[in-house]
Structure 1
Amino acid sequence: MPALDKTYIYRMVHILNIPHILVNGVTHRVSENANKDYVAIGDPKLISGRDMKLMLTGKYLGDYIPFYFGARTPMLYVNQYGFNSVPMTAAEDIVYCVSSIQAIIDSGIKFIFTDGHAHNALSTEYSMEHSNNLDAILDFKAINAEYWKDDTDLDLKRRKEAEILIEEDLPTKHILGYICYNDNAKAKLIDFGAREDVVVVRPNKYF
């Protein structure tokens, strides 16, 4: 059985969203607590496509707030380098909000998870009741891989992007900490009001 309190999940956001998150938590765009000044990162086409994908729960993929099980994702690479017509975002301006499976369970928020990118037709959807079997369901070697191009494993990228999808806003008290790129970013987070002891600098989580 996996240690769910040590099974961390990651939500990437622009650093300018942190002041709102410190007060309201990670919120959905249609939440009553949504950030009206939200600074988006990511591929708008992919985001709109998620709104059209119906999940087994009867909800659309876009109805959930997605977190990844690992860092250094293809999404991060696209954001940092600006591929697929996505504007470049400096690593210093990208922050990981970190929680854990146990923290989500303790929050009482319902969730599902997938064994690969949630928008990919090859990925399987699992209910929260399968959390105790994460080690058998998810490929953590793929999730933690630094890169995903492998001519002998063309499915590596999909598996690396396994997601947990939560149904409601995640209150700040269930965010365990924040990962940032450098000391400048850390100073900004502390100026915004983040506690210094929960902000860590990890440049190896970026490209």
Structure 2
Amino acid sequence: MASVPPSPKIYHITHIDNLPNIAANMGLVSDATRIARDLSCSLVGMSTIKERRLKEIEVPCHPKTMVGQYVPFYFCPRSIMLYMLHMGNHPDISYKGGQQPIVHLQADFHKVINWANSNGVSWAFSNGNAGSRLTNFYNHPSKLNEIDWGAVSSSDFRDAKIKEGKQAEFLMFNVFPWTLIEKIGIINSTMATKVKTTLANVAHKPVIAVEPNWYFDSRR
């Protein structure tokens, strides 16, 4: 099994149309908070899994909290969810706009948990899809070796074990501060220009970088 990276990064994907509200509200919010506040946004996830995360899957290291109360991040860009958005043929995903308008919000794992610990905010990570009933959860960095880092970095996820391991998630309770986002990865220069325009009047401006390797082959 691949070793734990010295400085793991975490990645949240969202539609570019959501960036103004994320920045204005100074953070990403969980599905539970979004529903409670009746916030409008461009949803790109799977409705049945979102429902299960809200009502059925608990985070055991923080008793009586549900996965849907946390803001989710992957440990890699170019995630399986992005692939499904790219293909646009999953029956449980109503979004059909492809991967081009999807942006990656990158943060540093250790900086994030240091902030969370200092501010009394609950966090956890899973060694697989946090919407699965078989996934394990942890809340100490010493347990990062429970993640299959080889699967996380794999570009071929046809094998079921790799597919599950690649979906390991980081979770922060309720709100993830915008100021912890260090980089925004986009698919091309056109989208980079749109992101720069969108964030022109925002105080905290993450690095904006064109990262085609974070996306799937657009010819498919």
Would you call these one fold, judging by a TM-score over 0.5? Answer: yes
In structure 2, the residue matched to 1:90 is 98
In structure 1, the residue matched to 2:54 is 51
SS at match of 1:92: coil
In structure 2, the residue matched to 1:99 is 107
State the distance in 2 between where 1:32 and 1:45 align. 15
Distance 1:122 1:15, change over 3 A: same
State the distance in 1 between where 2:86 and 2:34 align. 28
State the distance in 2 between where 1:175 and 1:35 align. 24
Asked whether the equivalents of residues 106 and 182 of structure 2 are also in contact (C-alpha less than 8 Å), the reply is: yes
Identity of aligned residues (%): 25
Asked whether the equivalents of residues 184 and 206 of structure 2 are also in contact (C-alpha less than 8 Å), the reply is: no
Residue pairs, 1:5-154, within 5 angstroms: 6-23=7-24, 24-29=26-31, 30=33, 36-52=39-55, 53-56=57-60, 57-85=63-91, 86=93, 87-108=95-116, 109-127=121-139, 130-134=140-144, 136-150=145-159, 154=160
Q: CA deviation at 1:189?
A: 0.5
CA offset digits 1:74-128 (Å, max 9, x no partner): 111111212322232222200011111122123223201111111223321112x
In structure 2, the residue matched to 1:191 is 197
> Structure 2 regions of 5+ residues with no counterpart?
none
State the distance in 1 between where 2:190 and 2:38 align. 24
State the distance in 1 between where 2:175 and 2:189 align. 29
Asked whether the equivalents of residues 88 and 98 of structure 2 are also in contact (C-alpha less than 8 Å), the reply is: no
State the distance in 2 between where 1:167 and 1:2 align. 24
SS at match of 2:77: coil
Distance 1:145 1:35, change over 3 A: farther
State the distance in 1 between where 2:4 and 2:149 align. 11
- Equivalenced residues, count: 200
State the distance in 2 between where 1:168 and 1:197 align. 21
State the distance in 2 between where 1:107 and 1:157 align. 30
Distance 1:49 1:133, change over 3 A: closer
Q: CA deviation at 1:132?
A: 3.2
SS at match of 2:29: coil
One-letter code aligned to 1:123: T
Distance 1:176 1:32, change over 3 A: farther
State the distance in 1 between where 2:103 and 2:192 align. 9
RMSD: 2.3
SS at match of 2:175: coil
